[in-house]
Amino acid sequence: MNSTSESSSLTRTPTQDERTLAILSHILSIFFWIFPSLIIYLVRKDDSPFVAEHARESLNFQITMTLLSIALTITLIGIIFLWVPAVIDLILCIVASIKAGELKSYRYPFSWRIIK
């Protein structure tokens, strides 16, 4: 499964500010949960397809990780494995940030696409 590809929504090269916002939508989610992605998505979704795409992906992934963590918390044995979603989140957010910096699209694996 190839999770990276050139963005079909790019009709022009994103500006440096758009690139920075796309990177921040992934990196800041490591520290501040869904809020950076949500704010960036709501503010820039109509202005920049590139930023909207990355913020939407980050937002969907953070929602998925939250639901996974809740499911693990509900089960007694799952509490032992609560560190797993945190490590996966950290690694994939870094990968997504690198792809955004390269001006490429990134689809998080096993992310539930709630925001379309």
Spell out the residues 6+ positions from residue 96 whose beta carbon is closer than 8 angstroms to its own.
26, 54, 57, 58, 61, 106, 108
Strands (E) in 11-53, as ranges, are none
Q: How many domains does the chain have?
A: 1
Indicate the pLDDT class of residue 77, thresholds 50, 70 and 90. Answer: confident
Of 51, 57, 55, 45, which is closest to residue 14 (Cα–Cα)?
A: 51
- Tell me what the mean pLDDT of segment 89-99 comes to: 97
Q: d(Cα 78, Cα 93) in Å, to the nearest integer?
A: 23
- Is residue 23 in some structural domain? yes
Which element (helix H / strand E) includes 76? helix 76-80
Residue 87: give the domain boundaries.
Answer: 15-103
pTM for this predicted structure: 0.84
Indicate the pLDDT class of residue 116, thresholds 50, 70 and 90. Answer: confident
- Is residue 78 in some structural domain? yes
